[in-house]
Every structure is written in structure tokens, then in C-alpha cells.
Amino acid sequence: MPESKPFVVEYYYKVKWGHQEEFLSLFRKNHWPLLKKQMDTGRIVLLDVVKARYHEPEAVRWDYRVTIGYKDSAASLTGDSKELIKQLYPDQATFKQEEQRRFQILDAHWDLPIAPVDLQEQPE
């Protein structure tokens, strides 16, 4: 059976001007612990967050990129986080309100599955 390879997805967040720190604060409080917990379980094998260093034209601007490497493609589609959310955030009303706010202050959000390119491989 072939060895499964990580399935990597980049998640881009374009935040409304002036709300970048609020978004990051809510992400750090409510989403980051959930991702780290999934890393502890082995579902996620890579987790990285970066921000854009310079401003880009509005049409292509993004503020934060979260790169997640799932154990494999099946792990990217499975993994019910509802139970983890209940464990991590007993005050569900506050959690839901803050997560709603985190998405209210976004201008855009998109997910981009990526694949490595082996430049050493020669075409047949």
C-alpha cells in the first residue's frame, strides 16, 4: 500500500480595513487552540500562519494565510470538531458569538489546496 502524503490547504483571510488585530485576536482565542488540538490527535501534521508584509492592490490583497497539512486527503474531509469545540469552549454562546464576529469582519475568505511540484522528476 503506498504511503499516504499530507494534503495541504492554504486558507486566506482578507479582513476589513482596521479590523486586522481584532480578527487575529479572535482567531488566536477561538480557532488556534482547536487547530493545535487537532495537531495533537494527528489529524493535522503541519500548521503555519503568516501575514502579508506589504500592502497589495485591493483586488489581490490578503491579510493572513493559514497553511494546514492534514495527515492525508481523507483527514481533510473527516474529523468532527464539534466535540472538541464543546470541550475547549464550555461557554458555547460566547464562542458562537465571537466566531460570528470573526467572519463578519472579513471581506473575503478562500481555501486553496496545494500540491508539491517535484522539479527533479523528468517527464517521460
pLDDT at 78: 83
Domain count along the chain:
1
Mean pLDDT estimate for the chain: 92
Q: What is the CATH number of the domain that holds 59?
A: 3.30.70.100
Note whether residue 18 is domain-resident. Answer: yes
DSSP state of 53: S
Q: How far is CA 109 from the centre of its chain?
A: 10
| Listed residue (115, 87, 110) closest to 6, CA to CA | 115
pLDDT at 16: 96
pLDDT at 2: 57
pLDDT average, residue stretch 6-33? 97
Q: Do residues 23 and 106 lie in contact, with contact meaning Cβ atoms separated by under 8 Å?
A: yes
Note whether residue 96 is domain-resident. Answer: yes
| CA–CA separation, 74 and 78 (whole Å) | 6
Note whether residue 24 is domain-resident. Answer: yes
Q: Flag whether pLDDT at 36 surpasses 60.
A: yes
Note whether residue 33 is domain-resident. Answer: yes
Model pTM?
A: 0.88
Q: Flag whether pLDDT at 13 surpasses 80.
A: yes
Q: Decide: helix, strand or coil at residue 113.
A: strand
Q: Domain range for residue 46?
A: 7-114
pLDDT at 3: 65
Q: How far is CA 85 from the centre of its chain?
A: 15
Note whether residue 87 is domain-resident. Answer: yes
pLDDT at 6: 93
Instruction: For 40-92, write each residue's pLDDT tens digit.
Output: 999 999 999 999 998 889 899 999 999 999 999 999 888 778 889 999 999 99
Q: Report the helix count and the strand count for the chain, using DSSP H and E.
A: 5, 4
Note whether residue 100 is domain-resident. Answer: yes
What single string gives the DSSP state of each residue in 4-19?
P--EEEEEEEEEPTT-
Note whether residue 1 is domain-resident. Answer: no
Note whether residue 122 is domain-resident. Answer: no
Q: Flag whether pLDDT at 22 surpasses 80.
A: yes
